[in-house]
Amino acid sequence: MGNKIFRSQLYEYDYRTRVIKPKNRMCPRCGSMMAFHKVGKPRWHCGKCDYTIFVEEKKK
Ligand SMILES: [Zn+2]
């Protein structure tokens, strides 16, 4: 098992705005990578210090 991280997993390309943005956020509390959870309420969660940021869904 390698721990290779592919670029496509770390960044996503927005075709509408043509902007490449990192998929993962850094935790404002401890500075480590946060994971995005889609189940339930979409949110960013830090596995290290348990910090959670809830993502507000955009209205169409
Ligand atoms: Zn953290």
CA 49 to centroid of ligand 1, rounded, Å: 4
Count the alpha carbons within 13 Å of 59 in the hemisphere toward its beta carbon: 0
Q: Answer yes or no: is 36 within a domain.
A: yes
What is the reported pLDDT for 31?
93
* Range(s) of the domain holding residue 40: 25-60
What is the reported pLDDT for 38?
84
- pLDDT tens, residue order, the chain (60 aa): 555 655 556 667 778 888 777 667 889 999 998 988 888 888 999 999 999 999 886 766
CA 31 to centroid of ligand 1, rounded, Å: 6
What is the reported pLDDT for 29?
96
Q: Answer yes or no: is 7 within a domain.
A: no
CA 24 to centroid of ligand 1, rounded, Å: 13
Q: Answer yes or no: is 49 within a domain.
A: yes
Q: Answer yes or no: is 55 within a domain.
A: yes
Q: Answer yes or no: is 47 within a domain.
A: yes
* Closest by CA position to 7, among listed 20, 26, 25: 20
E runs forming strands in the chain: 11-14, 19-22, 35-37, 43-45, 52-54
60/58 Cα distance (integer angstroms): 6
Question: Domain count of the chain?
Answer: 1
- Does residue 23 contact residue 12 with C-beta atoms inside 8 Å? yes
Which 3 state secondary structure label does DSSP give 36? strand
